[in-house]
């Protein structure tokens, strides 16, 4: 399937994007997750080629020079993240559609590269207050990192109208149902 579909899910941290993507993967066998590449160190629980393709910064730069990435970003000095073109080819060769869980900029770059067979979905939190509450309830943030995430979230929300669909995650079960409908309709579309 050289012309499989691409489903791009982007959202501010805490909007529920990863939870929705995991649900879609559990109920839609024709979807396959696009594993990103990174030059950061592998964490103990992570598995190469499942969580990320772990490669050195030098190797990452070589792949950039060879145009092997669909999109990439240097998040910190020598800490790169990106989507290998070969990952799409691997998934399409199985007859599957690709699903991404990516940041807003990466998502829009993928959409720009594949405008006709990609659907970009922005998962919107119901309100800034609920987003703050969700991030606070995670208990993974101190005040400084919480404020940084909220600031980034406000910036990311300004890009929502550049996406094909805005999925408001007010109720998780409703968001699951709506995401399934969105995916099914786009797969059926010729």
Q: How far apart are CA 110 and CA 71, in angstroms?
A: 7
Q: Is residue 1 part of a domain?
A: no
Tokens of 36: 């990103």
- Residue range of the domain that includes 106: 6-188
**Number of domains the chain is built from:** 1
**CATH no. for residue 40?**
3.40.50.300
Q: Is residue 148 part of a domain?
A: yes
Q: Is residue 161 part of a domain?
A: yes
Q: Is residue 21 part of a domain?
A: yes
Fill in the DSSP letter of residue 163: S
Model pLDDT, residue 140: 67
What's the pLDDT band for 103 if we cut at 50, 70, 90? Answer: confident
Stretch 164-190: mean pLDDT, rounded? 95
Q: What are the tens digits of pLDDT across the range 8-34?
A: 999 988 788 999 999 999 999 999 999
Q: Is residue 145 part of a domain?
A: yes
190 or 91, which is more confident: 91
Q: Is residue 158 part of a domain?
A: yes
Tokens 């910064």 belong to residue: 57
Helix/strand/coil (H/E/C) assignment for every residue in the chain: CCCCCEEEEECCCCCCHHHHHHHHHHHCCCEEECCCEECCCCCCCCCECCCEEECCHHHHHHHHHCCCEEEEEEEECCEEEEEEHHHHHHHHHCCCEEEEECCHHHHHHHHHHCCCCEEEEEEECCCHHHHHHHHHHCCCCCHHHHHHHHHHHHHHHCCHHHCCEEEECCCHHHHHHHHHHHHHHHHHCC
3-state secondary structure of 3: coil
Q: What are the tens digits of pLDDT across the range 62-79?
A: 999 999 999 998 888 999
């Amino acid at each position: 399937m050289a012309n499989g579909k691409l489903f791009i899910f982007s959202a501010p941290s805490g909007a529920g994007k990863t939870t929705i993507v995991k649900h879609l993967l559990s109920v839609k066998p024709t979807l396959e997750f696009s594993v990103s590449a990174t030059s950061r160190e592998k964490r103990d629980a992570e598995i190469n080629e499942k969580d990320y393709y772990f490669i050195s910064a030098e190797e990452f730069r070589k792949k950039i020079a060879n145009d092997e990435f669909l999109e990439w970003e240097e998040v910190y000095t020598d800490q790169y993240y990106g989507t290998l073109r070969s990952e799409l080819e691997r998934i399409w060769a199985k007859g599957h559609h690709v699903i991404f869980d990516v940041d807003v900029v990466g998502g829009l770059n993928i959409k720009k590269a594949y405008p006709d067979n990609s659907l970009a979905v922005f998962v919107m939190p119901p309100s800034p207050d609920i987003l703050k509450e969700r991030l606070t309830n995670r208990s993974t943030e101190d005040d400084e990192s919480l404020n940084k995430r909220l600031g980034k979230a406000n910036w990311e929300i300004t890009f929502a109208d550049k996406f094909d669909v805005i999925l408001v995650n007010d109720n998780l079960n409703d968001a699951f149902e709506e995401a399934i409908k969105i995916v099914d309709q786009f797969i059926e579309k010729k």
